Structure 1
Amino acid sequence: MLNNPMRRRPIAAVAGAAVAAMLLAGCVASQRDDDTPDQGAGEVDSTFIFAASSDPASLDPAIAQDGETFRISRQIFEGLVGTEPGTADPAPLLAEEWDSSDDGMSHTFTLKQDVTFHDGTPFNAEAVCFNFDRWYNWTGSMASEALGYYYNKLFKGYASNPADAVYKSCTPDGEDKVTVELNKPFAGFIASLSLPAFGMQSPSALEEFKADEVGGTAEAPVLSEYAKAHPVGTGPFKFESWSPGENVTLTAYEDYWGEQGQIEEVIFQIIGDATARRQALEAGTIDGYDLVGPADTQALEDKGMFMTSRPPFTILYLAFNQAVPELQDIKVRQALSYAIDKDALISQVLPEGTEKATQFVPPVVNGYNDEVTTYDYDPEKAKSLLEEAGYTADNPLALTFNYPVNVSRPYMPNPEQIFTVLSKQLEEAGVQITPKTDPWNPDYLERITAGADHGIHLLGWTGDYNDTDNFVGVFFGQKSAEWGFDNPELFQKLTEARGVSSLDEQTPLYEEINADVAEFIPGVPLAHPAPTLAFDPRVKSYPASPVNDEVFTEIELTE
């Protein structure tokens, strides 16, 4: 039985009246309203402007997988499970406690009472089961890897293929208790519920605004009305408006069950360029932004900005799509690995505090293996292996290198610069590189995760919760459009490991899996970046989280 006290939002100073922020949307030259009256004693400007690097992919977190969407989702939605502040470990949120059976197949949650959704409807056991059954009953594009990414990766199957499904059923027991039964063991089940993708959403709003009526195709979806303009959760902020390419605006939910804090309005201003975000902070037109470039950190600190970093819980990798015939040759994959100088990459373009990666999990995650095969920088060995594979100066290995533009991610703060460094290293080893760029959302993500039309590519991951399956299981637990390989032995090992409830028994299984992955070489694990955030001096503290579980009620502002 888990009996940790409910996570509380810290009580901040009483906020003054909300102050409007007049923005020329997305424009660095925008300024706060010059007509705003002076704040009275003890009051703060309760409008908080945060610069996002891109639009959200969707306002429905259940069909999203990116950090910009989830940053907004965490303000609107809450799950049964949250995280302990400053860690990746699970903690009670909408569920005050839970009791799991010894075999991990049955989980009973005791729900927080007197919680309402933003539309005034009650959060209760029936609402919980509505959400679980919604995910389980997805069909068509909603059940695709591109849209139902997290449910697809973690829960494996749907009502249409129940033999593959991890989820079995959800049963209410009165208003404040619910039992979820699993069809297959999943040791990370409780921790996985802290993901924004599994936030509780209003059944009434989901039905009224036809949340699951997504048009188009999995590769090019047309969002539902709900996902574009009507998200309804239980969180401290409710949705007001979204002008794509410009702003997302949220306001405080007056009937929120927890502590509201000082902020009454949040504006996510879309500024795609990293330099423009820094300039906006320096000009005083935004309050903060994420993914500060390494070259900007000291300069902003010298100007008195409040700086904070997250502990590294990320992985940046160069992935090999084995749907490309050349990449099916292990010697080619070995050669590409030896061609990469990770130390140079880190020192040239990644943030201070970044750690070099040897595998696809950070060192703090269970199953990290110090004995895995490594491919230390050796361009001559890379050339030799390419020759063994049949590639010479007259017949070079030619690869498409996909990377996103006009975006920053916690694991990839500057993709253009990362591409420049890596492509030069590969070319020095004799690889002929053809760059292919796409905007991050939706084009790049859909190209990489929904189809085979991509080559080697940059991507990465910010861990969502502290479980090994959340890294290697998500990447390599089943056939995937991103990686393009079929490895039944690896898939089976990962399936077995995720169902072992004893940590002592799990650890050697994941150590072996990480060793297997290192020898199979699906890609090159490059680095574990440590993302840095910068804020206006009026920000006194910010709840930096290794898994980005950062709710803006916990921001403290100076008067």
Structure 2
Amino acid sequence: MNGRISGIVVLALIFVIASTLVACGGNNDAAGNGKTLIWGRGADTKSLDPAQVTDGESMKVTKNIYETLVDYKEDNTEVEPALAESWKTSKDKKTWTFKLKKGVKFHDGSDFNADAVVLNFERWMDKKNPYHKGGDFPYYSYMFGGYKGDKGHIIESVNAVDEYTVAFKLKEPQGPFLANLAMPSFSIASPKAIKKDPEGLNKNPVGTGPFKLEKWKKNDTITLTKNEDYWQKGLPKLDKVIFKSMPDNSARFTALQSGEIDIMDGLNPDDAKTVKRNDKLVLHEQQGMNVGYLAFNVSKDTPLKKKKVRQALNHAVNKKAIIKSVYAGLAVPAVNPMPESIWGFNKEINDYPFDLDKAKKLLEEAGYKKGFKLELYAPSDPRPYMPDGRKVAEYIQSDWKKIGVDLKIVSYDWQTYLEKTGKGEHEAALLGWSGDNGDPDNFLYVLLDKDNTRTPDAGNISFYKSDRLHDKLIKAQRSTDREERTKLYEEAQEIIKEDAPWVPLVHSTPGIATQSYVKGKFTHPINNDKLVKVDIQK
């Protein structure tokens, strides 16, 4: 949050929270609603249609309402059955056939079957489909090469073989295909709900998951209630979940300490030490499969069009100082656009060293000896990869001033921020990414390939278009040989480092803090927000 909240305001905020929540965190409420878990978070959800969004605050909720054909194992990114109980692939890796679970119901009582899977994919892939409404489906285009009719679109067809068998036919093999299907964006929604009001899924989600939407108070709370007919017997263990929007990290932590909420993310790094000393609280440190970065919008008519300028600015970012001050050490400097925990990471690449003299020299060579003015977007809401975007921007602003670059920092609320960067309105912007599936494609192709410069939901917000890079990434994407793909991704990272469309800043190890009575697993390479097995034990 921009600025500092005074102690009086914090106390007032806590009083309001305490007054408005139905029940104190983790308690059985007076109405007999059973176990209620309250999750304090930094911002509200953008949409409750998981196919429409890329932001973590939306996914955090929809992961508990919807389910995918396959999922990731509890401890890693290996794929396991979910709504599909088994699958097989053809020898040429172009046809994938899935056997679906029987007896699964959507929240509206309709049956989950092969026709449901087909309708969802046809809705996402075909812009001419009558249910392709509510906005674009950005993750579909990111992961499957665009939409039906686009040159790079990889899916030829999705067909129901019988009531509980569905077949995907691909135009070319796709190495990350199975991992892609496990992403929450490809959750299956009720055909009945889609046909009734496809745009309405943004506010009225209907899935097969462990929880159903009860109500949504914009910029305040989203309340989910237990799905009594959930197909996994004995689950979920909670009766109700309330996601509470609380933009200020410190106020949210105070609410956790006072027992008004049961769990919080966006923990200030310094507060992690306090959690460790409090026997009533538990700190869960996420594995850092993320990246916080500064993107240069090379499509704008600014000095950033010149590679030497971008290289100069890379030399003028003191990552270690930012990590020490903003992250309290709970991060490591980023060298490449993806973390070392992802296979295919190029260990041979050296980072641009922090060297202001070198930066000045490169600016002079580029024709900007006297520097220039630039506008930098900085997020006002805390993110797992960037707990205080404004403070990060101010560190960069201070160092860039020393090399003659006058930086103006601007901020917007989170949803507006995503919309503006997705449309390319920025000159430069701080943003980040939490890995979705453990595959290099999910970082390099989604965030830096020319295919993903499509507005209004560009994944590549640097709008950097390199045919050399594209050729490497598409070849890697269409290979099913891990060794070949690794080599291609290593070469791709060399191209990115040379062209410098970004300053890769950090890979953070964000903390989630819970009350000690909250039992469940909260650490996973991919942010683990699924609450199906979480319990409250007092």
Q: Is the 8 A contact 1:411 1:531 kept in 2?
A: yes
Aligned position for 1:409: 383
Residue 449 of structure 1 aligns with an amino acid whose one-letter code is G
**Which residue matches 2:9?**
none
Question: Where does residue 323 of structure 1 map in the other structure?
Answer: 299
Residue in structure 1 matched with residue 510 of structure 2 by the alignment: 531
Specify the alignment match of 1:184 in structure 2.
172
1:544, distance to aligned residue in structure 2 (A): 2.0
**1:326–1:146 Cα change, 3 Å:** farther
Distance change in 2, residues 1:37/1:455 (3 Å): closer
* 2:3 counterpart residue number: none
Q: Do structure 1's residue 491 and structure 2's residue 470 form an aligned pair?
A: yes
Please point out which of 194, 203, 209 is paired with 2:182: 194
Rate the CA distance shift 1:447–1:206 in 2: closer, same or farther, 3 A.
same
Structure 1 residues 174 and 25: alpha-carbon distance in aligned structure 2, compared to 1, 3 A threshold: farther
Which ranges in structure 2 are unaligned for 5 or more consecutive residues? 1-12
Distance 1:450 1:205, change over 3 A: same
More deviation in 178-187 or 515-524? 178-187
The answer for the alignment partner of 1:288 in structure 2 is: 263
Query: 5 Å matches for 1:191-230?
Result: 191-209=179-197, 211=198, 224-228=199-203, 230=204
Instruction: Describe the superposition over 1:67-123 as per-residue Cα deviations: whole angstroms up to 9, x where unpaired.
Output: 010010110000001111022222211111111123321101111111110001011
Match of 2:436 among 448, 456, 464: 464
Quick check: 1:63–1:142 contact (8 Å CA) kept in 2? no
Which of these residues, 326, 334, 338, is aligned with residue 311 of structure 2? 334
TM-score normalised by length of structure 1: 0.87
Answer yes or no: is the 8 Å Cα contact 1:44–1:558 preserved in 2. Answer: no
Cα distance in 2 for residues equivalent to 1:408 and 1:235? 28
Q: Work out whether residues 82 and 194 of structure 1, in 8 Å CA contact, stay in contact via their aligned partners in 2.
A: yes
- The 5-angstrom pairing of residues 360-399 of structure 1 reads 360-392=337-369, 395-399=370-374
Q: What is the CA–CA distance in structure 1 between the aligned matches of 2:332 and 2:99, rounded to whole Å?
A: 40
For the residues of structure 1 that align with 2:297 and 2:114, how far apart are their CA atoms? 43
Distance, in Å, in 2 between the alignment partners of 1:270 and 1:433 is 31
Deviation by residue 1:215-267 (Cα, 9 ceiling, x = unmatched): xxxxxxxxx32212x10000000111111011101101011011414211011
> Residues 141, 26 of structure 1: CA spacing in aligned structure 2 closer, same or farther, 3 A cutoff?
farther
Q: Distance in 2 between matches of 1:388 and 1:429?
A: 13
Task: Tell me which of 391, 416, 420 is aligned to 1:447.
Answer: 420
1:25-424 alignment runs, 5 A limit = 27-30=16-19, 46-138=35-127, 147-159=136-148, 161-209=149-197, 211=198, 224-228=199-203, 230-258=204-232, 259-304=234-279, 305-324=281-300, 325-350=302-327, 352-392=329-369, 395-405=370-380, 407-424=381-398
> C-alpha distance in 1, partners of 2:14/2:114?
40
Structure-2 separation of matches of 1:485 and 1:84: 34
CA contact (8 A) 2:441 2:477 kept: yes
Give the deviation of 1:142 after TM superposition: 9.7
**CA apart distance, 1:428:** 2.3
State the one-letter code of the partner of 2:352: Y
Instruction: Flag the 1:34–1:65 CA change in 2: closer, same or farther, 3 A.
Output: closer
Extract unaligned runs of 5+ from structure 1: 1-23, 212-223
Distance of aligned partners of 1:364 and 1:38 in 2 relative to their CA distance in 1, 3 Å threshold: closer
User: Residue 477 of structure 1 contacts residue 495 of structure 1 at CA under 8 Å; is this kept in 2?
Assistant: no
Q: TM-score, normalised by structure 2?
A: 0.91
Greater Cα offset, 344-353 or 90-99: 344-353
- Kindly indicate whether the alpha-carbon contact (under 8 Å) linking 1:544 and 1:550 is maintained by their aligned counterparts in 2: no
Distance 2:135 2:104 in 1: 32
Between the aligned partners of 2:522 and 2:505, the Cα distance in structure 1 is 27
2:337–2:504 Cα contact (<8 Å) kept: yes
CA distance in 2, matches of 1:485, 1:144: 28
Q: Take 1:349 and 1:93, find their aligned partners in 2: how far apart are those partners?
A: 39
Summarize deviations over 1:424-450 as a string: whole Å, max 9, x none: 122222211011111111x10111112
Q: How far apart are the structure 2 equivalents of 1:145 and 1:86? A: 34
Percent of residue pairs identical = 34
Structure 1 residues 375 and 124, CA, compared in 2 at 3 Å: closer, same or farther?
same
What is the rounded CA distance, in whole Å, between the counterparts of 1:141 and 1:121 in structure 2?
Answer: 21
Shift of the alpha carbon at 1:169?
0.8
Once the two structures are superposed, what CA deviation does each residue of 1:277-296 show, in whole Å capped at 9, x if it has no partner? Answer: 11111121111111211111
Q: Partners of 2:174 and 2:26 in 1: how far apart?
A: 55
Check the 8 A contact 2:298/2:463 in 1, yes or no. Answer: yes
In 2: Cα distance, 1:128 partner to 1:545 partner: 27
For residue 15 of structure 1, what is the aligned residue in structure 2? none
Specify whether residues 530 and 130 from structure 1 end up closer, same or farther in structure 2 by C-alpha distance, changes over 3 A only: same
SS at match of 1:552: coil
1:304-325 superposed Cα distances (whole Å, 9 cap, x missing partner): 3111111110011111110233
2:509 partner SS: coil
One-letter amino acid of the structure 2 residue matched with residue 187 of structure 1: G
Give the count of matched residue pairs. 514
Contact 1:367 1:468 (8 Å CA) reproduced? yes
Equivalent position SS for 1:404: coil
The answer to whether the 8 A contact 1:317-1:459 is kept is yes
Corresponding letter in the other structure for 1:372 = I
**Superposed displacement of residue 144, structure 1:** 11
One-letter amino acid matched to 2:100: L
Name whichever of 374-383 and 541-550 sits farther off: 541-550
Letter in 2 for 1:120: G
Kindly provide the amino acid, as one letter, of the partner of residue 47 in structure 1.
T
Q: What code does the residue aligned with 1:333 have? A: R
Q: Distance in 2 between matches of 1:37 and 1:288?
A: 10
- Contact 1:44–1:262, Cα closer than 8 Å, also in 2: no
Aligned partners of 2:135 and 2:194: how far apart in 1? 20
